[in-house]
Chain A
Amino acid sequence: MTSIPASIPAEAVRPTATRSIDWWRWGGRVFLVFLLIFTVLPMAWMLLTSIKTQFAALQYPPQWWPAEPTLQNYTRLLDPSGSIGKEFLLYFWNSFYVSLATTILGVAVAVPAAYAFSRFRFPGRTFLFFAVLLRNMFPAVVFLVPLFLLMRWLGLVNTHGSLILTYLTFGLPLSIWLLKGFFDNIPIQLEQAARIDGATRFQAFLLIVMPLSSPGIIATSIFSFIGAWNEYVYAYTFLSKQETMTLPVGIQRFFTEFATDWPGLMAATFMMSVPVVVLFLVLQKYFVRALTEGAVKH
Chain B
Amino acid sequence: MAQVVLKDVVKNYGNVYAVNHVSLTVEDGEFVALVGPSGCGKTTTLNLVAGLIPMSGGDVVIGDRIVTDLDPKDRDIAMVFQNYALYPNKTVYRNLAFPLQMRKLPKDEIDKKVQAAAKVLDITHLLERKPRELSGGQQQRVALGRALVRDPRVFLMDEPLSNLDAKLRVQMRSEIKRFHQDLHATVIYVTHDQLEAVTMADKMAVMNGGFLQQYDSPANVFANPVNMFVASFVGSPAMSLIPLAAVTRGTEVALTSPEGWELPLSPANARKALNAKSPKVVLGARHSTVKLHKSQVPGSVPGKVYTVEPTGDITFAQVFVSSAILNISLAPSVQIRPDEPVFIEFDQDKMHLFDGETEMALKAD
Q: Which residues of A contact B52 (CB under 8 A)?
A: 192, 195-196
Chain B CB within 8 A of A189 CB: yes
Minimal beta-carbon separation of B151 from chain A (angstroms): 14
Chain A CB within 8 A of B337 CB: no
Q: Which residues of A contact B98 (CB under 8 A)?
A: 194, 197
How many Å lie between the Cα of A194 and that of B89 in the bound state? Answer: 13
Minimal beta-carbon separation of B54 from chain A (angstroms): 12
Most buried by A among B85, B87, B103: B85
Closest to A121 in B: B13
Q: Which residues of B contact A197 (CB under 8 A)?
A: 73, 98-99, 102, 146
Contact partner of B79 (CB less than 8 A), chosen from A187, A193, A200, A212, is A193
Chain A CB within 8 A of B148 CB: no
Interface size on A, residues (CB 8 A): 17
Chain B CB within 8 A of A295 CB: no
Chain A CB within 8 A of B222 CB: no
Chain B CB within 8 A of A42 CB: no
Chain A CB within 8 A of B37 CB: no
Closest to A197 in B: B99
Whether the Cβ atoms of A195 and B73 lie closer than 8 Å is yes
Q: Which residues of B contact A199 (CB under 8 A)?
A: 73, 102
How many Å lie between the Cα of A193 and that of B47 in the bound state? Answer: 11
Query: A193-B79, A195-B52 given as contacts; is B85 within 8 A of A187 (CB)?
Result: yes
Chain B CB within 8 A of A5 CB: no
How many Å lie between the Cα of A117 and that of B88 in the bound state? Answer: 23
Within 8 A of B (CB), among A172-197: 187, 189-190, 192-197
Query: A194-B98, A198-B99, A198-B102 given as contacts; is B50 within 8 A of A189 (CB)?
Result: no
How many Å lie between the Cα of A121 and that of B216 in the bound state? Answer: 37
How many Å lie between the Cα of A190 and that of B85 in the bound state? Answer: 5
Whether the Cβ atoms of A196 and B83 lie closer than 8 Å is no
Whether the Cβ atoms of A196 and B88 lie closer than 8 Å is no
Most buried by B among A197, A198, A200: A197
Minimal beta-carbon separation of A49 from chain B (angstroms): 47
Contact partner of B73 (CB less than 8 A), chosen from A187, A190, A200, A212, is A200
Whether the Cβ atoms of B87 and A196 lie closer than 8 Å is no
Q: Which residues of A contact B79 (CB under 8 A)?
A: 192-193, 196
Q: Which residues of A contact B88 (CB under 8 A)?
A: 190, 212
Whether the Cβ atoms of A212 and B89 lie closer than 8 Å is yes
How many Å lie between the Cα of A35 and that of B133 in the bound state? Answer: 40
Chain B CB within 8 A of A211 CB: yes
Whether the Cβ atoms of B73 and A208 lie closer than 8 Å is no
Chain A CB within 8 A of B237 CB: no
Contact partner of A208 (CB less than 8 A), chosen from B47, B78, B81, B87, is B87
Q: Which residues of B contact A187 (CB under 8 A)?
A: 83, 85
Query: A187-B83, A189-B81, A189-B83 given as contacts; is B89 within 8 A of A195 (CB)?
Result: no
> Please, what's the 1-or-0 string for B71-85, where 1 marks a CB less than 8 Å from any CB in chain A?
111010111011101
Q: Which residues of B contact A212 (CB under 8 A)?
A: 88-89
How many Å lie between the Cα of A203 and that of B75 in the bound state? Answer: 17
Most buried by A among B79, B82, B103, B146: B79
Q: Which residues of B contact A203 (CB under 8 A)?
A: 102
Minimal beta-carbon separation of B192 from chain A (angstroms): 17
Minimal beta-carbon separation of A186 from chain B (angstroms): 9
How many Å lie between the Cα of A189 and that of B87 in the bound state? Answer: 10
Q: Which residues of A contact B87 (CB under 8 A)?
A: 190, 193-194, 208
How many Å lie between the Cα of A151 and that of B358 in the bound state? Answer: 71
Q: Which residues of A contact B47 (CB under 8 A)?
A: 192
How many Å lie between the Cα of A204 and that of B213 in the bound state? Answer: 36
Q: Which residues of A contact B82 (CB under 8 A)?
A: 189
Most buried by A among B71, B89, B98, B102: B102
User: Lowest 9 A-B CB distances belong to which pairs?
Assistant: A198-B102, A189-B85, A197-B99, A193-B85, A195-B72, A198-B73, A189-B81, A196-B72, A196-B79
* A interface list, Cβ under 8 A from B: 187, 189-190, 192-201, 203, 208, 211-212
Apart from A189-B82, A192-B81, A192-B85, what are 7 other A-B pairs with CB-CB below 8 Å?
A187-B85, A189-B81, A192-B47, A193-B79, A194-B87, A196-B75, A203-B102
